[in-house]
Structure 1
Amino acid sequence: MSTHSSEYFGSPGQELPRDRLLKKIKEDETLPTLGISIAKVLEITSSGEDPVSKLAHFVLADVALTQKILRLSNTLQYRSHAGGPVTTVSRAIFLLGFNAVKTSALAMLLVDGFSNKNQARSVRKELVHSLCASIVARELAQRSKFADAEEAAVAALFKNIGKVLLASFDHQLHERIHLMETSAIDQASDAANFLLGCSYARLGEAVLQEWKIPDTIIQSLGPLPNGEVKKAQHRSDWLKQVASFSDAVAGIMFAPGAQASSQSLAARCSTLLPRFSKALELDKSHFEQMLDRVEIETRELAESMGIGLLQNAQVGAVDLSEEADASGLLDSEFMLSTFDSAALQVAPRHPSGKPSNARDLLLAGVQDVMQMMASDQVKLNDMILLVLETLYSAMGFRFATACLRDMKQGAYVARVSVGELYAERQRRFVFPVKEEKDVFHLAMSNNVDLMISDAAVAKIQNLLPQWHKDLLPDTRSFIILPLVLQKKAIGFFYADRALTAEEGVPADETALIKTLKSQLIAAMMRG
């Protein structure tokens, strides 16, 4: 090695390629933000605050991420279970599952964080590799007896992060290592150590530690011993096994010329079975069925992110260049028949911000609630969030909240909120149960739905309580929908805009809004 090392390692005292790369990564202005976002998603767990609400809020705060999650929810695989188009993040979480959306959101953040790099083709190739590995691990997690097995999907997603980083920040070195790995020279198995000065795992570990990713995930990036893998007794060992197996499957799926092969993915991966079958309890039948699903899910997840999987012998099974026109290059058999949720979401809007297709969005929300009510697993908080998000997105509000009566405090308290500054406004959205002559108490005492197009009218201003004027002084249009059970007011929905709504609320939209409210009241009575 000494005859070659000076080109890469330099003479004593010179900076190693690894150190130069890490310095370059640390100087990138976008990566700290990406790391913070990834850490936030990983913090969303079943402990503490309602995780579904936290995840929905995180996704809704990012318009691009919202669109990608909705597009994924409306692919053939998921829409067949939905019974109709999915137009809300709440419904997407209910349909895909909390862990699937959480892992998909992480993958989408990763793709967005790196896909704008100069060497887009190589970077995205490594990113799709990571997506595939994550999907394999998710499949294995569903059969695992270990607690919190879904963390394997996160571990597998980051297993390839070292290659993603190298492709992003030193494309030339990435290509040289790749060439050495695919050649027949003796050092092929140790190419990264030879040229970079450390393994891909160590490179990934250094960055993930900067991002404060949990140690259990970082430790899973290491290599396994050679030979047949023994069944794990500890969760940490199982995570490492799943990450390694998933990474190996992804490597085979996207090997050069893979798409030109007449063999199925399972057939091409059959050499992995003798090594992993006992450890991961995989028989041939389940192995084949699982990889068939993985191939479909990888394609759908990649498509939902705008990454096309194309046949291209020079870059393996993927062509991820920004110049590629997927509509023109994709074979028809690869095209996904999906519901275009984006078309609903980006329709023209009234000056107030209300979508011109509000009726369609409300109708989709009513259908979502019906589907959710039919499930035995539905939680009331999830139902409230779904109705609230439907009102918020369908009507173009800037802030929306569900307020419930708190007997101990003797006050109406905002419990679930979405939209602009939702956390701060929810904390301060509290007022006494004691009846006053204001618009909120009047709506609840009379059980009347109020839809105010112009809040600047003197009559309305006189009915707005001072706490509302202090909290939301720029409100120009709003709605109040009382929740009344057995003639007792238990709360209400509130949503507003900072602009007047001269278009008003026509009868068909009003009927759908009332239906949404009636569905929730029915769920409350049932629960």
Structure 2
Amino acid sequence: MVKAAVLDRLWARMNERGDFPMLSQSLRTTVAAMGNDDLDFAALVQVVLSDFALTQKVLRLANSAMYMAFGGNITTVTRALMVLGMDAVGHLVVGLKLVDHFHHSAPRRIDAKLELNRTMLSGCVARKLTEHGDLRVGEEAVVCTLMRQVGKLLVVFYLEAEWDQIRRRCMDGADESEASVAVLGVTFDELGLEAASRWRLPETIRAGMSHYDPHATDEQRSIQWLRATTNYSTDVASVLIAPDIDPREREAHITELAHRYSRALATDPEVLVEMSVALAREEAGEGVMREIMELRANADAIAREALDPEARIAAGVADLRALPPDNSLQLALALASETVLAGLGFARTVVFVRRGSNAFEAKFGFGPGVEQALPKLAFDAAFQPDVFHLAIANAVGIYIENARDPKIVTRLPAWFRHTFDDARAFVLLPVAAEGGAPVALLYGDWNDAHEPRKITPQAMSALNELARELGRFFVSVPAQEIEVQ
């Protein structure tokens, strides 16, 4: 009851600042997408694409040296997901969302910034420990490490008066757990576990957040490894960030930790010491912290380095071509849709898929408000004198440069005008199966918030090639059986 009361107070305080509900919702959506047995690629991609800065961070990490061997030159979130896997990207998103939330909520207090830096550094240690192993497990360990300190961060950032009391007790000789219980009635660890439950994080994450007991015999080996990684990373970060500590004393502390955890981490103590001490050295430490700062402060860097539209679309075509035709239809559609979105800087994209012989229905899309609009977007396959029917009757795409031209408006169906009345310009790309039958339609637009771009003949040619490549995923799917969840 005490835990619930304290957390209720925390949640109320955070909700007053306005941004916390968005964090909770995005974390729950991410976890739900990861746990979907049908592999809901589109849902996870949408979580990332809904946040421009997060999109750039995921792409930057997917293209960083530690992941380069798994793909390289990754320009779409869908491709990052394909290369790294649902769990790896999902955990990466959870970790980045957590760090970003506290970064943007940071009060102007040195102690709060210090705690956040220590948390970020602990995540860095965890990533270093796991960078040569399984990506999914490695990112899971990073999330466990960050979440292990969430309870403390919540108090530091949102319960300032209570945090000051805890600090004073610690200065008088109490340890943090004792001081937290005395002031709040619960420990930081208990608060973190309660937060993980409210965010519906997987049981594995919650188990990995707990205290590491080297003598425990009733836990799975994977859980023990997670706990050891989480605890070692947290302890090392505390040593590295400790002020006024002699380098030899710092190394002695790290050596002690390395020997304590080496067996559980299946790593020689000397290797652990070298890796950890390297983070404290100016050259290596600066490199790690520079990556963190770039992820946080220079999220738009990758946008400045972005490929031109033709090259981006060509990269998407190459990714589609690399997929076997029996691969997930939803994955292929998500990859094509995001390629169009990213390549031309559209505000939103929608994928219409033919259902039976009678209708085209919007199955998913990317961009603000698209998910809510999907149920309203459908049209009969029977011919009507509008641009959508003209598009599915064509072999190549159509570019509507001015959707508000009176001549064009008369060719826009009512369902489109009612739902996307802010469209300024758009592209329609017909997708045909082998034999020429139209099976899908890709739509992308610029609205009032996005300046339309000129589409060169080369870019249009690349878009048509993308649509042709997408058509092969429908070859073995009879029209009446096409279904995208």
TM-score, normalisation: structure 2: 0.76
Instruction: Give the aligned partner of residue 340 of structure 1.
Output: 301
Kindly indicate whether residue 422 of structure 2 is the aligned counterpart of residue 432 of structure 1.
no
Is the Cα–Cα contact under 8 Å of residues 177 and 187 in structure 2 kept in the other structure? no
> What is the CA–CA distance in structure 1 between the aligned matches of 2:22 and 2:451, rounded to whole Å?
36
Instruction: Give the aligned partner of residue 245 of structure 1.
Output: 232
Is the Cα–Cα contact under 8 Å of residues 450 and 481 in structure 1 kept in the other structure? yes
> What is the CA–CA distance in structure 2 between the aligned matches of 1:307 and 1:126, rounded to whole Å?
18
Alignment of 1:149-298 (within 5 A): 151-169=140-158, 190-193=178-181, 197-211=185-199, 213=201, 217-218=205-206, 220-225=208-213, 230=217, 232-233=219-220, 239-256=226-243, 261=247, 269-283=254-268, 287=272
How many equivalent pairs are there?
463
Shift of 1:120: 5.0
Alignment of 1:406-445 (within 5 A): 406-407=355-356, 410-445=358-393
Match of 1:276, as an amino acid? Y
Task: Give the 3 Å change call, closer, same or farther, for CA 43–193 of structure 1 in structure 2.
Answer: same
Instruction: Give the aligned partner of residue 60 of structure 1.
Output: 49
Q: Structure 1 stretch 476-485 or stretch 284-293: which is displaced more?
A: 284-293
Is the Cα–Cα contact under 8 Å of residues 353 and 440 in structure 2 kept in the other structure? yes
Is the Cα–Cα contact under 8 Å of residues 58 and 93 in structure 2 kept in the other structure? yes
Task: Give the 3 Å change call, closer, same or farther, for CA 459–423 of structure 1 in structure 2.
Answer: same
Shift of 1:118: 1.9
Instruction: Give the aligned partner of residue 8 of structure 1.
Output: none
Instruction: Give the aligned partner of residue 441 of structure 2.
Output: 492
Kindly indicate whether residue 394 of structure 2 is the aligned counterpart of residue 446 of structure 1.
yes
> What is the CA–CA distance in structure 2 between the aligned matches of 1:120 and 1:100, rounded to whole Å?
33
Stretches of structure 1 lacking an aligned partner (at least 5 in a row):
1-15, 309-337, 346-358
- What fraction of aligned residue pairs are identical, expressed as a percent? 24
Is the Cα–Cα contact under 8 Å of residues 312 and 343 in structure 2 kept in the other structure? no
> What is the CA–CA distance in structure 2 between the aligned matches of 1:509 and 1:240, rounded to whole Å?
50
Alignment of 1:121-160 (within 5 A): 121-134=110-123, 151-160=140-149
Matching residue within 467, 470, 473 for 1:520: 470
Shift of 1:479: 1.3
Shift of 1:418: 0.9
Q: Structure 1 stretch 389-398 or stretch 295-304: which is displaced more?
A: 295-304
> What is the CA–CA distance in structure 1 between the aligned matches of 2:117 and 2:317, rounded to whole Å?
34
Matching residue within 277, 302, 316 for 2:292: 302
1:259-303 CA-to-partner distances (Å, cap 9, x unmatched) read x848999x9644334433444433458757986899799546522
Is the Cα–Cα contact under 8 Å of residues 39 and 212 in structure 1 kept in the other structure? yes
Instruction: Give the aligned partner of residue 331 of structure 1.
Output: none
Task: Give the 3 Å change call, closer, same or farther, for CA 422–80 of structure 1 in structure 2.
Answer: same
Query: Aligned-residue CA RMSD in angstroms?
Result: 4.5
Task: Give the 3 Å change call, closer, same or farther, for CA 400–289 of structure 1 in structure 2.
Answer: farther
Is the Cα–Cα contact under 8 Å of residues 391 and 430 in structure 2 kept in the other structure? yes
Instruction: Give the aligned partner of residue 26 of structure 1.
Output: 12
Instruction: Give the aligned partner of residue 482 of structure 2.
Output: none
Match of 1:232, as an amino acid? E
Task: Give the 3 Å change call, closer, same or farther, for CA 509–220 of structure 1 in structure 2.
Answer: closer
Is the Cα–Cα contact under 8 Å of residues 134 and 156 in structure 1 kept in the other structure? yes
Instruction: Give the aligned partner of residue 41 of structure 1.
Output: 30
Stretches of structure 2 lacking an aligned partner (at least 5 in a row):
478-485
Task: Give the 3 Å change call, closer, same or farther, for CA 287–95 of structure 1 in structure 2.
Answer: farther
Secondary structure of 2:361 counterpart: strand
Shift of 1:59: 1.5
Shift of 1:62: 1.9
Instruction: Give the aligned partner of residue 103 of structure 1.
Output: 91
